[in-house]
Amino acid sequence: EANSIRELVKVRDRLDAWKETAERKVHYTATMSVKQQNENLVTNYEALIKQLNAVIEEETARMWT
C-alpha cells in the first residue's frame, strides 16, 4: 500500500507541475482560443488533484487503522 500511495503522490505532483505550466500560459498567451484551452486545463488539473488528494488521504488513513 505504501508504494501505491507514493505513486499516487508522484502523479499528483506531476499534475500540479502541469497545472502551473498551464497557468503561466494563460497569462502569457496572446490568442484567446489557446488561453481558453489552458484555462480549461487548469480547471481539469485542479479537479484531478483534488480527487487524488482524497484517495491519498483515504489510503493513508486506511493504512494506519
d(CA 62, CA 38): 36
pLDDT band at 63 (very low <50, low <70, confident <90, very high): confident
Question: How big is the CA angle at 34 (ends 45 and 32), to the nearest 5 degrees?
Answer: 120
| Predicted confidence (pLDDT) at residue 2 exceeds the cutoff of 90 | no
Residue 37 has what pLDDT?
95
pLDDT (tens digit per residue) in 3-49: 899 999 999 999 999 999 999 999 998 899 999 999 999 999 999 99
| Predicted confidence (pLDDT) at residue 64 exceeds the cutoff of 90 | no
d(CA 16, CA 61): 23
pTM of the predicted protein model: 0.86
